Structure 1
Amino acid sequence: MAPRSSPLLSPVFTLDEARAHGLTDYDLYRAGLESPKPGLRMAAGHQPDPLQVAGKLATRDPSLILTHQTAAHLWGLWLPSSMREPTIHLARRRGHGGIPRVDGTTGHLTAAQDQDLRMIRGVAITSPAWTWTDLASERLTLRELVAAGDSLLQRPDGPPRSGRHEGMNPLSTLAEMRELVGRRPGICGAPLLREALELVRTGVDSSPESWVRTGLLDEGWPEPEVNPLLSFEDGWSVRPDLAYRQWRIAIQYEGQHHFTEAQQYASDIHRDDRLSQRGWETIRLSSRVLTPVGWGEFTDGLRRAVQRQTR
């Protein structure tokens, strides 16, 4: 079932749905409704979410499948800011009709099989793993594709998913992703997809954590562990976002609430103090690390921390 606030539960409706509720064409005319796409209606002045429109188009034509960016937004994959506003991508399976031609949408033919599709409230959507492989054709960078892949493998006991997104963590497995990449050797972006697959990791909690990890690899740093459980002799344990055990350095990416919520802030300070008492150093990061200046500050600080920890 779709989550309560899913875009698939939308104020956009099909003419068939209206008629099923006893409304006549004259009723619809008198209501002054607008038509975002042929066969769809919505209240005048309403700004429809593209995902709402996509879902209703697929409801109206059961041969349509939501794919690419549309499916990625519904699954809640971590996407770059250039994809913040979803575009409508519709597909049909090969042998089940031609490429969908609907104004304002991008049409595809897909080789997806039954096991590669999910049905949500009567709408067919490509599976999370298949959706990720489709993104290889969307001009993502390697780091962006890795982040999208990491988002499929979040740990079930990690941060809760948004109520707008479908599914539960983890959305896929590394084995499923590997099988699909092997099954689609000729798709657009296949070389980049294969490279990204080798860098995807399980248990990442956020896209900034993914970016920090891959950024460190790009600069020749050893790969940090992702959300490792650090257990100490006194029975205390902690799970930092990233860690270098060999240097006893923990890296924590703190979202805005870590700085604005007093209880969370105090908890973070207490955690870092306890790590310090056990010989560990914690580097705390904010969204500034995603800027060139902030990144330079972070790596300089990391070098100094390594020097201190290896004296």
Structure 2
Amino acid sequence: MTKRGSFGLHQLHDLISTGGSFTVSTARDLGLTRGVDQYRRETGRLGRPHHGLRTTAEPADLLDRARMAGLLLPPGGAIGRRTAADLMEVDPRLPSERGIDLDVECLVPLGATPLRRPGIRSYVTDLEPDEFDTGLGFPLTTPERTLADLLRWLPAHMALAVADRMARRKLVDLDGVEAILDRWHGHRFVRQARRLLDAVEPKSESYGESWLRLRLLDAGFPRPEAQIPILDGGLEIYRLDLGWPDLRIAVEYDGEEFHGSPEQQQHDADRRRDMFERHRWNVVGVGKAHVLGPTLLLEHGVGEMLGLRPRITHRSW
């Protein structure tokens, strides 16, 4: 007679305790297939979040979902792109995606079969062994490889915003990103990635500032300085988002969070009037609708201030 637990339940408990999830193929290799069936019957705790994967609990957050997807990766694969950035606490979501859970994105090496599961996006690419690590318990692309990918594949304004944030937080070595892009010379969207890498500004304090700066650069205007201090008696009294100090012209991004109420808007108006009357700075504020809108009103307005004509006739993002 077969005894209770003779299907290797103690081994199965050991397997589950390492992370709460395991692949069916791992259980099969260990001879635990019958034990898995018995465990499910006796506990009712074994879920199936993806084909070929078993877990004792539903994923609670992105880290759980990434860890589960990591179990399904072929050798040499890694979690990457937007998921990697998100796990580094750099939000890669488009404005229209704020507040939603993104699919887990992963990279699989050339010649491997991409993962096809709900909630997982898989990309076949070259991936060097030193471009990912396992510090979180599964392969995750390094900040340099993550940013190199995002500079290529994200919309330009979001790619620059993510790059600025990673540089500001000193998460990434920009020279390392350039070295990866050098390896991809002539590949798709690498020219965009190089242009955006040259535009990275670690001083940028918000995504809106990054978007605004890219529009000014796309228009062909001289690169503005970021976070310009205005001093009075040696003390900083104001700081301007973007501008050209030699011309005393500045452009600021008025985000909805800090500039949306009537009181905040009045404060902005008073501040800019004081900047002009006492310090001879011409400062204009622009909002999200101007920066992400479809027209070239922003470019023509700033161009008039600078005495320059925009070099573009249509938006590229």
1:14 maps to: 21
2:197 maps to: 197
Amino acid at match of 1:206: S
Quote how far apart the aligned CAs of 1:242 are.
0.7
Quote how far apart the aligned CAs of 1:126 are.
0.7
Structure 2 CA distance for aligned equivalents of residues 226 and 204 of structure 1: 7
Q: Which has the larger radius of gyration?
A: 2
Structure 1 CA distance for aligned equivalents of residues 47 and 92 of structure 2: 35
Q: 1:121 aligns with which of 124, 136, 148?
A: 136
1:55 maps to: 67
Structure 2 CA distance for aligned equivalents of residues 248 and 294 of structure 1: 26
> What aligned pairs does 1:1-311 form with structure 2 within 5 A after superposition?
13-15=20-22, 24-29=39-44, 31=45, 33=47, 35-41=49-55, 52-59=64-71, 63=75, 64-75=77-88, 76-81=90-95, 86-92=102-108, 98-104=112-118, 105=120, 106-114=122-130, 116-135=131-150, 138=153, 140-154=154-168, 169-185=169-185, 187-259=187-259, 268=268, 271-272=271-272, 274-276=274-276, 277-292=278-293, 296=297, 298-303=298-303, 305=305
Judge conservation of contact 1:150–1:210 (CA < 8 Å) in 2.
yes
TM-score normalised per structure 1: 0.68
SS at match of 1:89: strand
Question: What is the CA RMSD across the aligned residues, in angstroms?
Answer: 3.9
Go from structure 1 to structure 2 and tell me whether the alpha carbon gap of 1:142 and 1:150 turns closer, same or farther (over 3 Å shift).
same
Name the stretch that deviates more: 230-239 or 264-273: 264-273
Amino acid at match of 1:210: S
Structure 1 CA distance for aligned equivalents of residues 62 and 50 of structure 2: 10
Amino acid at match of 2:217: L
Judge conservation of contact 1:147–1:207 (CA < 8 Å) in 2.
yes
SS at match of 1:284: strand
Go from structure 1 to structure 2 and tell me whether the alpha carbon gap of 1:143 and 1:236 turns closer, same or farther (over 3 Å shift).
closer
Q: Unaligned stretches of 5+ in structure 2? A: 1-18, 24-31, 33-37, 308-317
Go from structure 1 to structure 2 and tell me whether the alpha carbon gap of 1:93 and 1:279 turns closer, same or farther (over 3 Å shift).
same
Judge conservation of contact 2:249–2:281 (CA < 8 Å) in 1.
yes
Go from structure 1 to structure 2 and tell me whether the alpha carbon gap of 1:176 and 1:228 turns closer, same or farther (over 3 Å shift).
farther
SS at match of 1:229: strand
Name the stretch that deviates more: 236-245 or 185-194: 185-194
Structure 2 CA distance for aligned equivalents of residues 180 and 28 of structure 1: 48
Go from structure 1 to structure 2 and tell me whether the alpha carbon gap of 1:72 and 1:188 turns closer, same or farther (over 3 Å shift).
farther
Go from structure 1 to structure 2 and tell me whether the alpha carbon gap of 1:302 and 1:194 turns closer, same or farther (over 3 Å shift).
closer
Amino acid at match of 2:146: T
Q: Unaligned stretches of 5+ in structure 1? A: 1-11, 155-168
Quote how far apart the aligned CAs of 1:244 are.
1.7
Aligned residues between the structures: 269
2:26 maps to: none
Quote how far apart the aligned CAs of 1:237 are.
4.4
Judge conservation of contact 1:66–1:125 (CA < 8 Å) in 2.
yes
**Segments of 4+ moved more than 6 angstroms:** 261-267
